[in-house]
Chains A and B, each alone.
Chain A
Amino acid sequence: MKLEDYKVVFVAVGLVGILLFASPALALVLHLPAGEKFSALYVLGPGHMLEGYPYNVSAGGEYLVYLGVGNHLGNAAYYEVLVKLRNSSDALPNSTLGVASDLPVLYRYEAFLADGQTWEGALSFSFSNVGFGENVSSVGMVRFNDVWVEVNKNAVWDSVNSGYFYQLVAELWLYDTTSDSFSFHNRFVTRWLNMTAPV
């Protein structure tokens, strides 16, 4: 090997060494791109599993589901989970346009989550003032976690699926520090409930 070749080796070793010594300071300035940022919203059955969801419901019955939120936004987040009740003719949230449902909010959860943290809240509910007419059923009151709310909602007989169907809707809203307000985070979950007469 010639002297010039050794010089190249020394220069290469020098550059690698300089990079190694500079890496602690560089790490403070350079930030690698973070992974995908997202939030998760889910609903679980009474046993904290993806099964056993209430389906056939009636006045006076006690039902339970769990709502869960996962924060993967890379920072702490302030969420609201809004619970609504719809029938088959009411509009669902529009995930394409990112617009929430215009149904009234019946129950509200607030959750402050660190990045990577999940939250689960129990949602127990029951119905009262339930009536059945000719091909129509009506629900007067719904109780969510000890809070009675007047809903006065009707559902017509669904001859295809044989039932009077209501749908529990949970929407995820996220607090935006810039606008100082909550905005629909384009996540929602639903569960169909078939209203039946008590046996």
Chain B
Amino acid sequence: MLKRVLKASLCFMLALVLAGLFLRSCFVVRGVDDAAASVADADVAVRRAFNATLDAERAGANVSGLLVRLNDAGVVLGEAEVALNNGNLSDAAGKAGTCISIAQSVVSDAGVLRASALDGARMVFWTYLAFSVVGIGVFVVVLAVVWRRFKRGYVGNVLGMKPEVKHNEA
């Protein structure tokens, strides 16, 4: 009886150890996958942040501050990749998270800068257009007035001229 109990216990323990080994490998693989997915997400987030920055720049915004933060995100992303390659999964996932939060803040700020730059550009456009249209109108009217006065003066001068008689001494 005791022998049977011992045998059953041994089998149970063996099964437990085998299951533990299997589960451990499952958890490690799962951990690698998760960390790799986080780093890949961080990479995508950085690219998206750069696209948003480029859009803001095309709208005329000053993006130098955003580029500094993107460089910070790039450094953190590089560190996450190194940590992932070294098997330091928690560090990789943590740095990937930091990178994603920097990238998201860049996207948000780039949107604000872009909107502000577009508003500014619209304002400048209408101001310049108004200046040009009004300026041209005033200039043409002034020039027409000057021309009319000049023409009147010129004609008056011509009509007021008297013929000069000269003697031929030869």
Q: Which residues of A contact B (CB under 8 A)?
A: 3, 6-7, 10, 13-14, 17-18, 21-28, 75-76, 78, 108-114, 117, 147, 175, 177, 180
User: In the complex the two chains form, is A112's CB within 8 Å of B71's CB?
Assistant: yes
User: In the complex the two chains form, is B150's CB within 8 Å of A112's CB?
Assistant: no
What residues on B are CB-neighbors of A14 within 8 Å?
139-140, 143
Instruction: Indicate the size class of the contact surface on chain B.
Output: 35 or more
Does B74 lie at the interface of the complex (its beta carbon under 8 Å from any beta carbon of A)? yes
User: In the complex the two chains form, is A109's CB within 8 Å of B78's CB?
Assistant: yes
Does B29 lie at the interface of the complex (its beta carbon under 8 Å from any beta carbon of A)? no
What is the bound-complex CA distance between A76 and B49, given in angstroms? Answer: 12
Write out, one digit per residue, whether chain B residues 31-43 have a CB within 8 A of any chain A CB (1) or not (0): 0000000000000
Nearest chain A residue, comparing its CB with the CB of B155:
A3
User: In the complex the two chains form, is A25's CB within 8 Å of B143's CB?
Assistant: no
**Smallest CB–CB gap between A24 and chain B, Å?**
4
Supply 5 A–B pairs (Cβ within 8 Å), ascending by A: A21-B135, A25-B131, A28-B125, A28-B129, A76-B54
What is the bound-complex CA distance between A147 and B79, given in angstroms? Answer: 10
Known: A24-B131, A112-B71, A113-B67. A175 touches B124 (CB 8 A): no
User: In the complex the two chains form, is B128's CB within 8 Å of A28's CB?
Assistant: yes
Most A Cβ at <10 Å: residue of B58, B128, B140: B128
Nearest chain B residue, comparing its CB with the CB of A13:
B143
The total number of A-B Cβ pairs within 8 Å is 85
What residues on B are CB-neighbors of A177 within 8 Å?
50-51, 54
**Smallest CB–CB gap between B160 and chain A, Å?**
15
Q: Which residues of B contact A (CB under 8 A)?
A: 46-47, 50-51, 53-54, 57-58, 63-64, 67, 70-71, 74-75, 77-78, 81-82, 85, 124-125, 128-129, 131-133, 135-136, 139-140, 143, 146-147, 150-151, 154-155
Question: Which of A10, A28, A117, A175 is within 8 Å of B50, CB to CB?
Answer: A175
Known: A114-B64, A117-B67, A177-B50. 9 other contacts (CB 8 A): A6-B154, A10-B150, A14-B140, A25-B131, A28-B125, A75-B58, A109-B78, A112-B67, A112-B74
User: In the complex the two chains form, is A22's CB within 8 Å of B136's CB?
Assistant: yes
User: In the complex the two chains form, is B125's CB within 8 Å of A175's CB?
Assistant: no
What is the bound-complex CA distance between A112 and B72, given in angstroms? Answer: 10
User: In the complex the two chains form, is B58's CB within 8 Å of A180's CB?
Assistant: no
What residues on A are CB-neighbors of B63 within 8 Å?
76, 114
What residues on A are CB-neighbors of B139 within 8 Å?
14, 17-18, 21
User: In the complex the two chains form, is B136's CB within 8 Å of A75's CB?
Assistant: no
What is the bound-complex CA distance between A69 and B50, given in angstroms? Answer: 18
**Smallest CB–CB gap between A167 and chain B, Å?**
23
**Smallest CB–CB gap between B116 and chain A, Å?**
17
Question: Which of A6, A21, A110, A114 is within 8 Å of B132, CB to CB?
Answer: A21
What residues on A are CB-neighbors of B64 within 8 Å?
114
